[in-house]
Structure 1
């Protein structure tokens, strides 16, 4: 639940007056670059705190209850290199489990079992920097899923991936039981969502069924593309 949410960064408003009750299993957040959607995702993940208003997930404040929120919510960043911390796959995948209280031995045993189940036992000692973009994105997803969060926040999950990798990731995400909240500038990325929220200049422009909101967003983007669309960024 987001109540009267506002965020200022560098003295400038990025989000203002947002009140949202997010209950659907598949939710999309659509908007242009600079619309505030990535800031909204970071608020929900507890990576930043609101300037005004409140964020609550199962009664918890994500920014204040960081350890408790780990089992509630996970985030997949647009660039996996901003998320990967460790030099080898087993270290990367074990880290979250250790944060949840497992011993290193317990965490590594769990990771090995998951890698075997995924048909990727040979990844165990692989250097993370040697994986392809798609493999690094999958590694980040596996690391998040190992922590079994109730909700996944996806920040432009298909950016930089080729079409076959996008198709594989889409199948994987579609099969997950978790609630997925996906942000994107691309209406196709949120086409299968039950609900889509269009953010414009840090405020809600539209909120409703995916087809309806995506059509309105696409029409507006086409209109802006037909004129000098950058003029609204001046001043």
Structure 2
């Protein structure tokens, strides 16, 4: 796919004209002149964005930089140049505060689940924050009940299905009460039934949610979609417009 200059892309310009309206909203992620490279190889290049919609999708080819973009949003990656601000907090300056605000759900839940029993894993982050035991138990019960997973509370994690693991990973994020949730390709490893369960869970979240995905149908009801190409924002706007543009570019 050829490189696309955002300055000459009509979808990108359309979104830029609405930036002032977004900046008046309360929950905001701001990227200011953000660039990042790995071992001298540019991965993201000069990105300026304000993200404030409730549901935002990120699409792009493999290697486009979209997963690195997602990791910038909760301090898993700190940009080589520029700044990422979450509700005004710079990810460079207070990563603990950022991690409290932004929950991150990985593509592979095995990379996220660290304890052998479901309840133990969900309690792990809360114990680190010194939450009282009684409150921990209540939060775990409520998070599992949300997805009808209460019967898995004492189950060994290795006995869960892929869909159950992904919902447990999401539940473990929710018990920490983040204000924003970022998903990195949450349905890639799932069969259709479990893909639909996870899609319904994402759709029902009240949190501002950012989803990196190749599953374009997952984004049809979102407010905004970004397309990343060659480390830049190549298109930015309504899902119907951006996804049609993306499909055309991927032919």
Calculate the TM-score normalised by the size of structure 1.
0.89
Displacement after TM superposition at 1:113 (Å): 4.7
Residue number in structure 2 paired with 1:16: 45
SS at match of 1:33: coil
Displacement after TM superposition at 1:165 (Å): 1.3
Residue number in structure 1 paired with 2:200: 171
Contact residue 47 and residue 233 of structure 2 kept, 8 A:
yes
SS at match of 2:165: helix
With 9-18 and 94-103 compared, the bigger mean Cα shift is at 94-103
Q: Deviations over 1:43-93 (max 9, x none)?
A: 111011100000000111234312222331101111101111111111111
1:113 and 1:27 mapped to 2: Cα distance? 26
Q: Which of 212, 215, 222 is equivalent to 1:183?
A: 212
1:119 and 1:76 mapped to 2: Cα distance? 19
1:6 and 1:108 mapped to 2: Cα distance? 42
Displacement after TM superposition at 1:103 (Å): 3.2
1:106 aligns with 2:138: no
2:47 and 2:207 mapped to 1: Cα distance? 24
1:192 and 1:167 mapped to 2: Cα distance? 14
| Aligned-pair Cα RMSD in Å | 1.6
1:118 and 1:30 mapped to 2: Cα distance? 27
Q: Which of 159, 162, 166 is equivalent to 1:137?
A: 166
Q: Which of 12, 35, 42 is equivalent to 2:71?
A: 42
Contact residue 47 and residue 63 of structure 1 kept, 8 A:
no
Calculate the TM-score normalised by the size of structure 2.
0.83
SS at match of 1:216: helix
SS at match of 2:90: coil
1:185 and 1:105 mapped to 2: Cα distance? 40
1:181 and 1:114 mapped to 2: Cα distance? 20
1:201 and 1:145 mapped to 2: Cα distance? 33
Contact residue 188 and residue 215 of structure 2 kept, 8 A:
no
SS at match of 1:78: coil
With 157-166 and 21-30 compared, the bigger mean Cα shift is at 157-166
SS at match of 1:71: helix
Unmatched segments (≥5 aa) in structure 2: 1-29
Displacement after TM superposition at 1:206 (Å): 0.8
Q: Deviations over 1:95-147 (max 9, x none)?
A: 12223330345323432354456543332221111111111000000011111
1:185 and 1:118 mapped to 2: Cα distance? 24
Contact residue 43 and residue 63 of structure 1 kept, 8 A:
no
SS at match of 1:87: coil
Matched residue count: 222
Q: Deviations over 1:1-50 (max 9, x none)?
A: 00000001111110011001001111111100000000011111101110
